[in-house]
Amino acid sequence: MTGAGETESMKTVRIREKIKKFLGDRPRNTAEILEHINSTMRHGTTSQQLGNVLSKDKDIVKVGY
pLDDT tens sequence across 50-61:
999 999 999 999
* Low-confidence residues of the chain: pLDDT under 70: 1-8
Q: What is the pTM of this model?
A: 0.83
Round to whole Å and give the CA distance between 1 and 19: 28
Q: Could you say which DSSP state residue 58 is in? A: T
